[in-house]
């Protein structure tokens, strides 16, 4: 699979834990996650890309390629980069998106500060239910996104936001997810919002956010 490049030099306990978690979930991921990963299509719509857009989009935590598949189908000129730490998820994504292989590059790598560079500068960095699972390191991931984007570049995020119920916080914690309204303040610090929605799920059991923002200068 020529589009899949591996880098195992940044292995740590968190990466190992998440890789083990998704080794079990990769094949069933798309069949089950639709029940609670809400707002992914709305986030892509909120980017408001023109049909002939030839921008480069990086998705951090691309998983099995759900969003990349939607983008590749909708925009035939987009260049796409899918980054994830799970080889099992990337194998599923690469197989699913084989017909778009000339426009999609997959990288197995943590998205964290360092000397390594992306193969090309992204116009958009996309996080879909990813940031709440980067604990620790979500702040560094947002800083990296800000640094990787050119002036005028955008970030797009859909993720868990908060819940009024302690038991649900604990349950999500068992599944490596933090959700206590910690993302939005830092997103607003680094990016000027161009689109922001917060929605309730399952009658208020939890809420999720959709955020699109333009890179701030001098932050």
- Give the total number of structural domains in the chain: 1
88 confidence band (pLDDT: 50, 70, 90): confident
SS3 12: coil
Q: Any idea what the CATH number is for the domain that residue 131 is in?
A: 3.40.50.150
Token representation of residue 194: 């161009």
What percent of the chain has pLDDT above 70? 84
φ/ψ of residue 16, rounded to 5: -60, -40
Domain that holds residue 169: 4-215
Instruction: Choose among 178, 134, 123, 132: nearest CA to 156.
Output: 123
Q: Model confidence over 59-75: pLDDT tens digits? A: 999 999 999 999 999 99
SS3 145: helix
50 confidence band (pLDDT: 50, 70, 90): very high
Q: Model confidence over 6-19: pLDDT tens digits? A: 344 444 665 665 55
pTM of the prediction?
0.86
The Cα 139–Cα 112 span in angstroms is 9
Q: Model confidence over 155-176: pLDDT tens digits? A: 999 999 999 999 999 999 988 8
The Cα 89–Cα 78 span in angstroms is 22
């Amino acid at each position: 699979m020529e589009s899949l490049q591996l880098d195992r030099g940044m292995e740590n306990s968190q990466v190992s834990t998440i890789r083990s978690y998704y080794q079990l979930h990769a094949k069933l991921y798309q069949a089950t996650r639709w029940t609670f990963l809400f707002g992914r299509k709305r986030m892509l719509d909120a980017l408001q890309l023109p049909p002939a857009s030839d921008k480069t989009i990086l998705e951090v935590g691309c998983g099995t390629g759900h969003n990349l598949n939607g983008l590749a189908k909708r925009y035939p000129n987009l260049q796409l980069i899918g980054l994830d730490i799970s080889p099992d998820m990337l194998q599923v994504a690469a197989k699913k998106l084989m017909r778009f292989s000339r426009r999609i590059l997959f990288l197995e790598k943590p998205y964290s500060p360092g000397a390594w560079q992306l193969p090309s500068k992204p116009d958009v960095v996309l996080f879909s239910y990813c940031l709440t699972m980067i604990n620790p390191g979500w702040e560094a991931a947002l800083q990296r996104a800000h640094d990787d984007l050119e002036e005028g570049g955008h970030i797009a995020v859909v993720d868990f936001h908060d819940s009024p119920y302690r038991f649900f916080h604990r349950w999500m914690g068992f599944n490596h997810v933090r959700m206590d309204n910690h993302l939005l303040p830092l997103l607003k610090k680094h990016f000027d919002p161009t689109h922001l929605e917060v929605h309730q799920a399952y009658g208020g059991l939890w809420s999720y956010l959709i955020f699109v923002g333009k890179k701030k200068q001098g932050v």
